[in-house]
Every structure is written in structure tokens, then in C-alpha cells.
Amino acid sequence: MLDKKIALVTGANRGIGKEVAKELAELGWQVIATARDQSKATKVANDIGNGAVGFPLDVTDEASVKLAASFLQENFTRLDVLINNAGVIGNHAVVDFALDEISSVMDANFMGPIRTAKYFMPMLRKSPDARIINISSGMGELASLESGGYGAYRLSKSSLNAFTILLAAELRGTAVKVMSMCPGWVKTDMGGAGATRSVEKGAETAVWLATAAGVKTGKFYRDKNIISW
């Protein structure tokens, strides 16, 4: 019989990431809660309790991701769930061609999950039921791009969705599933006070994707239902 399941959550120091980490820990999972610096990671692990471990991880820094992968390999037998939650917002319309913003947002929101998937894959492959859950956004849905605005953010999330489809296809037939999900407009530092959803509601589908039987790889979810790309 396997010991408790193991999940790593990026950007777990606040908002949706912290709530997902907390709820999984409360369910008896071994949670590795990560943030860009050790003090924030330690604080969130202490806040979460239930044996959560805090570790520094900056998804935009390849050396940082490799160090976290080494930490996993040295201290755990496998990784069951990777939740790619860390991300940033970009406010400029794409027609502004704010190249620095596009580059930095893509680095965090798109390349970040690629880095973590790459370096954590050996540990995910050791799980009999591994899952990569990419926290995306309805603003990355193809039809929503016609609304314009938030160019870097929309591009990063539609690209993340494409990565989800591609990686899931290449891993089909293995024990590793890959899904994207939209949490909705959530009251977090990123979502703002005007958002319509609680952080608990925003975390709900991620926790469900981590724990439920029968979830389908290569799909985009909102409120526990498959939605259009």
C-alpha cells in the first residue's frame, strides 16, 4: 500500500495556490508548498500545517527548478500531482507591443510550467497515477481572444492550453495525465476586489482534478466540467 499522496504547488504563498495546498494537506496529502523565496515558502507551510513542507521555487529560473527537482528526488519516492499555479498578469493590449511585458509574462505563465514539467517528470513517472494541472484562464480561450486586451496574459494562457494538449497527447498511454483549468474570476491579489468568486471556489476544480477518479487527460476544465479551448 502506498503512503500518502504527494503534491507540489507552485506559487503557493497566496491566493488560489495557497488554498489548493491547504485543502490537499487537510485531505492528508504530503504537500510541498513553493514560493519564490524561502521565507515565504516556510511561512505558507507553517500556515497550512498538516505536515506541509515549504521550498523556494522560482519557475522563471531554470536553476531554481532544477534545485527543487533535486530536493524532491532526495526526499520523496515520487510526485503524484504537480499544480502549475504560479503566474503573473499583463495589462497592455497586444497592439501596444510591450515586448518586455510579453516576454516576462510568457516566461512565467508559459515557460514556467514547461520547466517544472521537464524537471519534475522523472518523479511524476514514478507515480501510478500522476497528474499535471495547469492553472489557466478563460481569458486564454480562443473565442475570448476576440475581446482583445491583456495581450501578454491572454497569449500566455492560450499557449499554456496548447502545451497541455500537446504534452497530454505525447504522454497518452502512460500514467501521467495533463489538464488545464480555469478557476474563474477570483478575489485574489491578481483578480482584485471586484472579482466574483471566492478563493475556495477558485481552488475547487484544481483539488477535484488532483483527487477525483476518471478525469480525462488533455482537456480544459471549469467547475469540474470540460469546456472548449
pLDDT band for position 1 (50/70/90)? Answer: very low
Question: pLDDT of 110-138, one tens digit each?
Answer: 999 999 999 999 999 999 999 999 999 99
What does the alpha-carbon distance between residue 42 and residue 55 come to, in Å, rounded to a whole number?
A: 7
Residue whose cell numbers read 504560479: 86
Say whether pLDDT at 196 is over 80: no
Q: What is the pLDDT of residue 187?
A: 63
When the pLDDT of each residue in the chain is averaged and rounded to a whole number, the result is: 95
Give the per-residue SS3 of the chain.
Answer: CCCCCEEEECCCCCHHHHHHHHHHHHCCCEEEEEECCHHHHHHHHHHHCCCCEEEECCCCCHHHHHHHHHHHHHHCCCCCEEEECCCCCCCCCHHHCCHHHHHHHHHHHHHHHHHHHHHHHHHHCCCCCEEEEEECCHHHCCHHHHHCCCHHHHHHHHHHHHHHHHHHHHHCCCCEEEEEECCCCECCCCCCCCCCECHHHHHHHHHHHHHCCCCCCCCEEECCEEECC
Q: What is the pLDDT of residue 133?
A: 98
Catalytic-role residue among 119, 150, 153, 221:
150
Is 221 marked active-site? Answer: no
Nearest residue to 210 (alpha-carbon basis) of 34, 29, 69, 77:
29
pLDDT band for position 142 (50/70/90)? Answer: very high
Structural domains of the chain, ranges and CATH numbers in brackets: 6-227 (3.40.50.720)
Global pTM? 0.95
Give the pLDDT mean for 72-99: 97
Give the pLDDT mean for 201-217: 97
Find out whether 101 and 90 touch, Cβ atoms under 8 Å.
yes
pLDDT band for position 226 (50/70/90)? Answer: very high
